[in-house]
């Protein structure tokens, strides 16, 4: 197992704050997808606007890369006091129950209401559950049309993260003595401006070489471009997590990285508006979009980590509460916002009012869900929280009334 680097804490408040912000931002991002012309959602609002699409491009290239990098760094902090087997077991206990819950409850629920709104499907929910779990090739045929039913939906991140953790634990088990050397080698190469340049070039190579032919599928067995990028970010986070020099370099590079990310976003948005969106055929046909996407993808990560390292040092009850609850919010939010749209759509509300209500209701549902979940041991396990069985209060002898009058 790689040795600890002395002088660095086992928990980073800046990474906790960024993780909370990015996961919370996913709610706004997914609400935005209801109104974006290129949205992959089957259920969408009756309103759409290209301006929403441009706003989504602010985070589209980098948000998941950042989450995988932070997850890799968190795994590195956990690895110091655990064997590879124990690390893999603990991570599996945190990640697999929510994934199973999503497959059994949340994904079927949101897909059922999507079919009711977008197709002539009229079966009951219990009939749909039968079809969802037993349909050949996990496809539903409605009046001659085939509809693929997602297995893990927006929880693809959880499945990918679990798989990457298992692979990493296997590597640690097989070659634990060499990871310290790999850490030193990687952090030795990624020094100064190379921390910005080399990963950016790596992202660009993957984008040019793999994306045009493979694209994003979000099917675990056939999503090789996403695996190449996401696993690389996960491993990079693991390797640089304990390098004080790497984090100091991010602080020094924060302004150049922010400038690069801003310029890349402006060009990316302009190309998207000019060419009609950011669908895979459009992006694959425009090499310039690969360049600006890759620049924004890594430069934004460096900028956010640099500014976070410098300014997000405040710890406290608020951060611990948010950091504990944000994963539950992530599990619940998409089903909540899609069901909210399903119920609001018939009213024909102004798009601004409709979107605002969806955001408010989604956060409210997530808040109530977390408040319920965190009080019940077995529910905590299903929603990605650490299991804490409530201990009965220790018995004390009753106090007589005469004794209280002393």
Structural domain boundaries enclosing 156: 13-194+218-246+312-382
Mean pLDDT of the 142-170 span:
91
Beta strand spans in 143-226 (E): 145-148
Cα 385–chain centre separation: 16
In order, the DSSP letters of 239-291 are: HHTT-HHHHHHHHHTHHHHHHHHHHHHHHHHHHHHHHT---HHHHHT-HHHHH
As a whole number, the mean pLDDT across the chain is 89
Alpha-carbon distance 250 to 241, whole Å? 12
How confident is residue 389, by pLDDT bands cut at 50, 70 and 90? Answer: low
Which tens digit of pLDDT belongs to each residue from 272-291? 988 888 888 888 888 999 99
CA 125: distance to chain centroid? 29
Model confidence at 394: pLDDT above 70: no
79 vs 239: CA distance, rounded Å: 12
Rounded Cα gap, residues 303 and 247, in angstroms:
11
Say if residue 398's pLDDT is above 90. Answer: no
Write the CB contacts of 135 (distance below 8 Å, at least 6 apart in sequence).
Answer: 149
Whose CA is closest to 98, among 385, 383, 387?
383
CA distance to 26, 41, 44, 111, 343, per residue, from 117 (Å): 23, 12, 9, 10, 10
Least confident of 6-20, 27-41, 196-210: 6-20
By the 8 A CB rule, do 43 and 341 touch? yes
pLDDT in tens, 329-362: 999 999 999 999 999 999 999 999 999 999 999 9
19 touches 326 (CB < 8 A): yes
Burial class (CB in 10 A: 0-12, 13-18, 19+), 44: buried
What percent of the chain has a predicted confidence (pLDDT) above 70? 92
- Average pLDDT of the segment spanning 392-405: 40
What is the model's pLDDT at position 395? 41
- Parallel, antiparallel or unpaired: strands 145-148 and 139-142: antiparallel
Q: What was the pLDDT predicted at 281?
A: 85
Asked whether residue 226 is assigned to any structural domain, the reply reads yes
- SS3 of 144, please? coil
Please indicate, yes or no, if residue 202 is contained in any of the structural domains.
no
Six token digits for residue 35:
């109104």
Give me the pLDDT at residue 4, please. Answer: 39
Largest CA distance in the chain: 87
Band the pLDDT of 118: cuts 50, 70, 90: confident
Question: How far apart, in whole angstroms, are the C-alpha atoms of residue 270 and residue 93?
Answer: 44
pLDDT given at position 10: 57
Q: What is the pLDDT of residue 178?
A: 87
Residue 373 resides in a domain: yes
**pLDDT given for residue 328 in this prediction:** 95
Residue 390 lies in a domain: no
At 33, the pLDDT band (50, 70, 90 cuts) reads: very high
Cβ atoms of 273 and 54 within 8 Å: the answer is yes
Residue 371: is its pLDDT beyond 70? yes
Least confident range from 201-205, 227-231, 313-317, 399-403: namely 399-403
The candidate with the shortest Cα–Cα distance to 300, out of 66, 130, 81, 96, is 66
Q: Is residue 405 part of a domain?
A: no
Distance CA 351, CA 52 (A): 12
Domain count, the chain: 1
Which position has the higher pLDDT, 254 or 216? 254
* pLDDT exceeds cutoff 60 at 40: yes
Rounded distance between C-alpha atoms, residue 248 and residue 305, angstroms:
10
Name the CA dihedral angle for 251, 329, 165, 1, rounded to a multiple of 10 degrees.
Answer: 60
User: Once rounded to an integer, what is the mean pLDDT over residues 228-249?
Assistant: 97
Structure-model confidence comparison of residues 2 and 155, the more confident one: 155
What are all long-range contacts of 88-94, with beta carbons under 8 Å and residues at least 24 apart?
88/165, 88/166, 88/169, 91/162, 91/165, 91/169, 92/162, 92/165, 92/166, 93/381, 93/387, 94/384, 94/386
For 147, the 3-state DSSP assignment is strand
């Amino acid at each position: 197992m790689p040795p600890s680097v002395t002088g660095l804490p086992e928990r980073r408040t800046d990474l906790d704050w960024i993780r909370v912000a990015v996961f919370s931002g996913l709610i706004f991002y997914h609400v935005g997808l209801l109104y974006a012309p290129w949205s992959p959602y089957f259920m969408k609002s009756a309103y759409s606007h290209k301006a929403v699409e441009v706003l989504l491009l602010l985070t589209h290239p980098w948000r998941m890369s950042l989450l995988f990098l932070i997850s890799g760094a968190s795994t590195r902090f956990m690895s110091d006091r655990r064997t590879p087997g124990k690390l893999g077991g603990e991570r599996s206990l945190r990640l697999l129950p929510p994934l199973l819950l999503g497959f059994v409850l949340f994904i079927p629920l949101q897909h059922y209401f999507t079919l009711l709104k977008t197709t002539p499907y009229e079966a009951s929910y219990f009939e749909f559950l039968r079809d969802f779990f037993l349909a050949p090739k996990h496809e539903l045929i409605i009046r001659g049309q085939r509809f693929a039913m997602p297995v893990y939906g927006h929880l693809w991140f959880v499945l990918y993260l679990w798989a990457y953790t298992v692979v990493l634990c296997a590597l640690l088990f097989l070659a634990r003595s060499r990871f310290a050397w790999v850490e030193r080698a990687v952090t030795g190469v990624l020094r100064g401006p190379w921390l910005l340049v080399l990963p950016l070039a790596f992202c660009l190579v993957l984008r040019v070489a793999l994306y045009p032919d493979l694209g994003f599928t979000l099917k675990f067995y056939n999503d090789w471009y996403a695996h190449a990028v996401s696993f690389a970010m996960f491993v990079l986070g693991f390797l640089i997590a304990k390098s004080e020099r790497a984090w100091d370099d991010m602080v020094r590079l924060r302004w150049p990285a922010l400038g690069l990310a801003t310029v890349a976003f402006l060009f990316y948005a302009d190309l998207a508006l000019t060419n009609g969106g950011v669908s895979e055929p459009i992006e694959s046909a425009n090499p310039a979009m690969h360049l600006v996407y890759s620049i924004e993808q890594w430069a934004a990560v460096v900028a956010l980590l640099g500014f976070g390292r410098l300014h997000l040092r405040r710890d406290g009850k608020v951060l611990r509460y948010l950091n504990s609850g944000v994963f539950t919010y992530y599990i619940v939010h998409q089903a909540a916002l899609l069901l909210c749209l399903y119920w609001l759509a018939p009213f024909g509300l102004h798009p601004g009012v409709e979107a605002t209500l969806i955001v408010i209701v989604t956060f409210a549902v997530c808040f109530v869900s977390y408040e319920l979940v965190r009080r019940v041991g077995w529910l905590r396990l299903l929603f990605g929280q650490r299991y804490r069985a409530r201990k009965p209060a220790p018995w004390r002898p009753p106090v007589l009334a005469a004794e209280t009058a002393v």
